[in-house]
Structure 1
């Protein structure tokens, strides 16, 4: 992560402005929707490209009582930065840093016997009990333990290790496949199976601190799925997980990241002038072109070539031709903004600029990918770092 604590005095080639006041407000809005359940702010993948440590701190300030990461390395980095409280990580591979996670008092996810065995061995070595959350595969088909005999074996072995003081089963959890599609038949099926797997584990003697299955879309649209904890990821950053149902404002959210760059060159060209690699765009007449100094090496999706929107001097422009590694061009239609003028690729959208969802539509992807892929060459500039009041 390339952090810039406050706005710099010199202009930047590009910047991703991160509004921590918006993030705190989003967490408070999600807490209000959580039906009394605790809120986990998921800060995996460098907080979806926003900067894990500053965003984690802001989320905790706003009342998130858990933090979530994918990898143990991400979780350990939060602890090293001084983040207190409960931190959970779930994407483990054989030989992972189990002992370090135990010693850092992390909650680790286990969804198979190999992981439980490695965790128990690490707990013996550390001389400390592990905090473990058992993951059930209720239908997503990724991580997690299958129902039936596999789940029974995992629960039994976890309880045996717990009786030996090697671990404590702190949670039972699963993950939705289609929660962003309300009414999808898999949602009810997964909820039913999750309840059955919970009942089995609890019937065997598991007393979890938290039970959870709800992600961002389920937090916003499925109150029956909230249980003890909701895991909110993309919604923390003010992006709608279900744009078909509504934009961020419809859910009381505000996008946190604004991505912009300084126009590097404005020049006059005649009609019939090819633009960028392959000449996929040819000027229809005499015009002006603006050079925007960011490209796919900065995370700007090449698939948005010819379609990505940019706000320059109050007007929407469109990427002209192919997006290159470090730059792209917009046709300014004869206008002549000064070099150094700010070109806004996306932001909250309430100041006339495009949004991450607009770029997602242009690139044929989802807004999650648009913000997460913004690279480390683009400094993160944090605003509203101090909580008001």
Structure 2
């Protein structure tokens, strides 16, 4: 878990400022989008790069009733940090920490018989019933149990184990493939199949606490998919799951992370001066260059070379030439801001700075990747840690 003191004692080369008040407001906005369902704040991958423990605490304070992680290790770390309530994890491999998860009162996801059998063995060993959620593959084609005979067999074996007191089936769930593409025909098809698989399991006696399929885009745009619980990942952090759906403000969301660095050097160079590896940028005339001390080792995408936007001294600049491992250059056009001037790579956008979506467009990727890839060399600095009121 990447956690940093709120007030650093020395100037930082770079910092990712995490606004926990914005995160709480996002959770409250998401609750309003799905008033009939509980909210699961997904904090996998260190809360999409924002810091799992502080973000999980803030989400719970704002009314998230569940926390979600990919790996059991992520979920166990939340428990070890004292996070209460329901925590679910869903990405298991053979020999995983089943017993530890059971004893930590985690909800674990099962997609196939191998996993169910390992879980049941661990429950026997622990002498404690497991909390298990059965995942259905309704069309995403990744994890999840196939409909038909496979689903029938998984449900039957789970119910047998439940009758022996070894587990409780607490949930039935699935995941959308194209909820971020409005009108995609797979959305309706997946919803129909999910309802059929729910009906089959419930007809055999499963009484789940929660049924859920809605991710961030479905939470924001598909109320018919909300069921008992919505799982909000990227939207929790104030980023739109798809530009086609709208910008964050359209959904009452505010980006939580602001990434900045201190300009390390400003120098005047003549025209025709090559910049960075390969000289893919050559100065068109006499100008000034600013050195920004972050690079792809910090998670700045090399694919944004020559295109990534940066706000320096109130003006948008563009990465000049290649992004290197630890640094990149911007052409300041003759301006000479003092060294130490803050270069803002992305933030909420309300003060003229670029956003994570702007960097995603520059790199040919999605905003999820931009925030999640920011590395551990960049300290997370938390602001508004105390909830107002």
Common fold by TM > 0.5:
yes
Give the CA deviation at 1:244.
1.5
Q: Secondary structure at the match of 2:258?
A: strand
**What is the CA RMSD across the aligned residues, in angstroms?**
0.5
- What per-residue deviation string (whole Å, max 9, x for no partner) do you get for residues 91-117 of structure 1? 000000000000000000000000000
Q: Could you tell me how far apart the structure 1 residues matched to 2:182 and 2:266 are?
A: 47
What per-residue deviation string (whole Å, max 9, x for no partner) do you get for residues 6-39 of structure 1?
1224210000000000000000000001131000
Is 1:315 aligned to residue 315 of structure 2?
A: yes
- Give deviations 1:318-359, integer Å, cap 9, x for gaps: 000000000000000000000000000000000000000000
> Does the 8 Å CA contact 1:35/1:226 hold for their aligned counterparts?
no
TM-score normalised per structure 1:
1.00
TM-score normalised by structure 2 residue count: 1.00
Distance in 2 between residues matched to 1:223 and 1:241, nearest whole Å: 16
State the Cα deviation string for residues 176-234 of structure 1 (Å, max 9, x = none). Answer: 00000111000000000000000000000000000000000000000000000000000
Measured after TM superposition, the shift of residue 80 of structure 1 is 0.1
| Partner Cα distance (1:134, 1:209) in 2 | 12
Deviation at 1:136, TM superposition (A): 0.1
Q: Supply the distance in 1 between the matched residues of 2:267 and 2:130 (Cα, whole angstroms).
A: 62
Post-superposition shift, 1:245?
2.3
Contact kept in structure 1, 2:237 and 2:255, CA below 8 Å: yes
> Which ranges in structure 1 are unaligned for 5 or more consecutive residues?
none
Alpha-carbon displacement from aligned partner over 1:61-118 (angstroms, at most 9, x marks no partner): 0000000000000000000000000000000000000000000000000000000000
Q: 5+ unaligned residues in a row in structure 2: which ranges?
A: none
Q: Is the 8 A contact 2:2 2:46 kept in 1?
A: no
Structure 1 residue 243, shift from structure 2 partner: 1.2
Separation (CA, whole Å) in 1 of partners of 2:59 and 2:85: 12
Shift of 1:48: 0.0
**1:260-318, Cα deviation, whole Å (9 max, x unpaired):** 00000000000000000000000000000000000000000000000000000000000
Question: Displacement, 1:143?
Answer: 0.2
State how far apart, in whole Å, the 2-side matches of 1:55 and 1:48 are: 10
Q: Secondary structure at the match of 1:35?
A: coil
Q: Is the 8 A contact 1:136 1:197 kept in 2?
A: yes
Instruction: Please give the alpha-carbon distance, in whole angstroms, between the structure 2 residues aligned to 1:220 and 1:2.
Output: 29
**CA distance, structure 2, for counterparts of residue 194 and residue 6 of structure 1:** 44
Residues in 1 aligned to 2:253 and 2:234: alpha-carbon distance in whole angstroms: 11
**Partner SS, residue 4 of structure 1:** coil
1:5 Cα deviation from its structure 2 partner: 2.2
How far 1:247 moved relative to its partner? 0.4
Structure 2 distance, partners of 1:278, 1:242, is: 34
Q: Which runs of 4+ in 1 moved over 4 A?
A: none
Q: Distance in 2 between matches of 1:199 and 1:3?
A: 44
Match of 2:285 in 1: 285
Contact 1:49–1:373 (CA under 8 A) maintained in structure 2: yes
